[in-house]
Amino acid sequence: MKKSQTISEKKLLGIAGLGWMFDAMDVGMLSFIIAALKIDWGLTPKEMGWIGSINSIGMAVGALLFGLMADKVGRKNVFIITLLLFSVGSGLSALTTSLALFLVLRFMIGMGLGGELPVASTLVSESVPADKRGRVVVLLESFWAFGWLIAAVISYFVIPKFGWQTALILGAIPALYAIYLRINLPDSPRYVTIQEKKKPSILEGIKTLWSGKYLRPTVMLWILWFCVVFSYYGMFLWLPSVMIMKGFSMIKSFQYVLIMTLAQLPGYFTAAYFIEKIGRKFVLIVYLAGTAASAYFFGTTDTLWVLLMAGAFLSFFNLGAWGALYAYSPEQYPTSVRGTGTGMAASFGRVGGVLGPLLVPYLSAQGYSIQLIFSIFCLSILIGAAAVFFLGRETKNLELD
Query: What structural domains and CATH numbers belong to the chain?
Result: 9-181+201-391 (1.20.1250.20)
Q: How far is CA 118 from CA 65, 318, 346, in A?
A: 11, 18, 7
pLDDT the model gives residue 273? 94
The arithmetic mean of pLDDT across residues 145-173, rounded, is 86
Of 384, 375, 387, 354, the closest CA to residue 295 belongs to 375
The arithmetic mean of pLDDT across residues 135-161, rounded, is 88
Check if the beta carbon of residue 15 is closer than 8 Å to that of residue 181. yes
pLDDT the model gives residue 301? 85
pLDDT the model gives residue 239? 82
Q: What is the pLDDT of residues 258-313, one digit of tens each?
A: 888 889 889 999 999 999 999 999 999 999 999 999 999 998 888 889 989 999 99
The answer, yes or no, to whether residue 1 has pLDDT greater than 70, is no
Q: What is the pLDDT of residues 166-178, one digit of tens each?
A: 998 887 877 677 7
